[in-house]
Structure 1
């Protein structure tokens, strides 16, 4: 899947684009609107980005975890090289310290991520401050023609590039979940 970004200042037109894409077979988990005016996006019944995903929490937490793993491996490596594991305490203190370092770095990465915009959306910050909205669609290669056809009919949409999309298995899972929720009485 590939993500296609569009910029617009007309939420009514974005609602029409969403409706056309859904009628053409692109599911709602593939459609998102990023805006600083969440109330208006909600009022137009558009698929807004979750607040936590506007920030870089997930990405920064992952980076923190990588740093934590490196720190934990370093601690365990030093313990082995210095032969501290041969003492009466064995691996327990070093193992515990490695777990604490991993947890702390992961937690700290998440805290840093809360304070900064999502790395995928940083390029749109100036446009968002101007009151514009970013509409993005995650499409399979076989859906690209549908997206292009619909986008060409809406002149308020300005193509703003591409990026990494949500994995297809996540989108399919969201589709199945939505279908199951609709089937409930």
Structure 2
């Protein structure tokens, strides 16, 4: 099981130092993500990708049922109005279901790309003030070790919490 750890870091140089220490502690760079204001130069730090910065996953989870339900309703309307040859009612509802599903996913992705991640709303004030959000994904066995290492070596690094259920992929 993987846990996502959040640290609020006051500046880029400290973030770079913590990044290097985590690398020495055998945390892969692909498991570290940094989020900051657009005007903050992160140089070679591993910037968070669109999945971590935006609300894609959450939006798709809403788009799938809404799109599918809309497709079924439209299919039922088309069938009830007699616009389909007899014997093709089930096929029509199934096709409109999949079309609605696709459109629901597509529309939710278009919207979500520009919506900040809802899990990061608690960090907005700190990010606006120029601080850096340092995200680390580590196995549950290493959480205490990494937390203790970062906060002991760098008391100005503020541990902002854990996220319990991180999938093993991106």
The reply to whether TM is greater than 0.5 is: yes
Please tell me whether residue 35 in structure 1 is matched to residue 54 in structure 2: no
Tell me if structure 2 keeps the 8 A contact 1:38–1:48: no
RMSD between aligned residues = 2.6
Q: How does 1:8-87 map to 2 (within 5 A)?
A: 8-37=9-38, 40-41=41-42, 43=43, 45-51=44-50, 53-72=52-71, 78=76, 87=86
TM-score, length of structure 1 as denominator length = 0.75
Secondary structure in structure 1 of the residue aligned to 2:18: helix
- Report which of the two has the higher share of helix: 1
More displaced 10-residue stretch of structure 1: 66-75 or 9-18: 66-75
Indicate how the Cα distance of structure 1 residues 51 and 90 shifts in structure 2: closer, same or farther if over 3 A, else same: closer
CA drift of 1:24 comes to 1.1
More displaced 10-residue stretch of structure 1: 14-23 or 108-117: 108-117
CA drift of 1:38 comes to 6.5
Tell me if structure 1 keeps the 8 A contact 2:72–2:96: no
Q: Which residue of 2 aligns with 1:128?
A: 127
Take 1:164 and 1:69, find their aligned partners in 2: how far apart are those partners? Answer: 30
CA drift of 1:74 comes to 5.3
CA drift of 1:108 comes to 1.6
Gaps of 5+ in 1: 172-185
Gaps of 5+ in 2: none
More displaced 10-residue stretch of structure 1: 31-40 or 66-75: 66-75
More displaced 10-residue stretch of structure 1: 7-16 or 138-147: 138-147
Q: How many pairs align? A: 165
Q: Which residue of 2 aligns with 1:161?
A: 161
TM-score, length of structure 2 as denominator length = 0.81
